[in-house]
Structure 1
Amino acid sequence: MIEDLQAVFIDRDGTLGGDGHFIHPKDFAPYSFSRGALNKLKHHHIKILALTNQHNISKGKATEEDFRHEFKELGFDDSFICPHNPADACSCHKPETGLLLEAAEKYHLDLTKTVVIGDVGSTDMLAAHRVGAVKVLVSTGWGGRSNSDYRHTWSEVEADYYARDLADAVDWVLKQWL
């Protein structure tokens, strides 16, 4: 399915750690399996890019630099962060595609050769769908409810894979690519 995989985009809250709600980077802890999953991607020289909506930045609860530092510490190659409130109607707040397009321009990516792993269908999966990326929905965070209680908010899209968690998602991606 995935030829010449160029990058994997990973959502933060609910995918990498936490319950899907905002947690300040100084208090954030990735799931026990997240570092191992990231290391598997790095072992195969796959670019790892954080892709996250963080509207609490606009409320002064954290800074973009707080998040960039966190992602760098976790081994991400780069981070693409929307700091805006959803009401701002910016082009970067998922499900809009601005962050993905920015990454594509910066790294010369063909977004159809990338994967988006996230826990929210109405943001992560819709954004991935709009650019032709492979879509992986994890069950952690909002993932379970996103695929049941909130399925109507992204009913026109189907994930390419439904993963238990980030570790399962990464294993699936590597099986498709290797």
Structure 2
Amino acid sequence: MKNIEAVFLDRDGTIGGDSTIHYPGEFKLFPYSASEINRLKKSRIQLFSFTNQPGISKGVATIDDFQRELTGFGFDDVYICPHHPHEGCPCRKPDIGMLSEAQKDHNLNLENCVVIGDRWTDMLAAAKAGCIKILVRTGAGEVSLRDHHHEMEKLSIDYIAEDLPDAVHWLMQN
């Protein structure tokens, strides 16, 4: 694997759950996600979660709830956008605020980082930041491919994976 500095994993639909939001305490990892997270960590790659969670702004959960859950899964750091889509904040995907914050916090070259997610907004954020882009078909992946086909073509996604194990396998081989 060439000089990969970090992998950013989306939460809902990528490592567990489905295409909807499940709050901490209700969220379940896919059966293979823990082993794939450990596989990446054994490769000494920094592993970050980055996730839009507008329920925080509605008071349904807290940032601390999500941070505890995600660090418990093994992430080195967690980046969360708590804002509603209509607030127009720069941290909400498809903007690159969370990626830029991680870049500053961990002295990263984003061109040497990978984003794995199930939505076109994950891929758009990755493209804007110059990251390697891997879309998984789990969660909203199939819907993203169908409904955003033309946008996806323009993004030049590096790999479309069946699921997280396929994405990690491809990453380790390339």
- Work out whether the TM-score is over 0.5: yes
Residues 48-69 of structure 1 show CA distances to partners (whole Å, capped at 9, x for unaligned) of: 1001000111011110101100
Deviation at 1:152, TM superposition (A): 3.8
CA–CA distance in 1 between the matches of 2:17 and 2:148?
A: 19
Name structure 1 gaps, 5 residues minimum. none
Query: What RMSD, in angstroms, separates the aligned Cα atoms of the two structures?
Result: 1.1
CA–CA distance in 2 between the matches of 1:126 and 1:146?
A: 12
Residues 130-167 of structure 1 show CA distances to partners (whole Å, capped at 9, x for unaligned) of: 01100000000000110112324544212100001011
CA–CA distance in 2 between the matches of 1:89 and 1:5?
A: 31
Aligned length: 174
Q: Residue 15 of structure 2 corresponds to which residue in structure 1?
A: 16
CA–CA distance in 2 between the matches of 1:22 and 1:59?
A: 13
* Structure 2 counterpart of 1:127, from 125, 128, 139: 125
Q: Residue 146 of structure 1 corresponds to which residue in structure 2?
A: 144
With structure 2 as the length reference, what TM-score do the two structures score? 0.97
Shift >6 Å, 4+ stretches: none
Q: Residue 41 of structure 1 corresponds to which residue in structure 2?
A: 40
Query: Is the partner of 2:135 in helix, strand or coil?
Result: strand
Name structure 2 gaps, 5 residues minimum. none
CA–CA distance in 2 between the matches of 1:78 and 1:20?
A: 23
- % identical aligned pairs: 45
Deviation at 1:174, TM superposition (A): 1.1
1:1-178 alignment runs, 5 A limit: 3-121=2-120, 123-176=121-174
With structure 1 as the length reference, what TM-score do the two structures score? 0.95
Query: Is the partner of 1:93 in helix, strand or coil?
Result: coil
AA paired with 1:130? K
Query: Is the partner of 1:148 in helix, strand or coil?
Result: helix
Shift in alpha-carbon separation, 1:59–1:104, aligned structure 2, 3 A: same
CA–CA distance in 2 between the matches of 1:45 and 1:106?
A: 17
AA paired with 1:36? S
Deviation at 1:20, TM superposition (A): 1.8
AA paired with 2:32? F
AA paired with 1:8? V
AA paired with 2:11? R
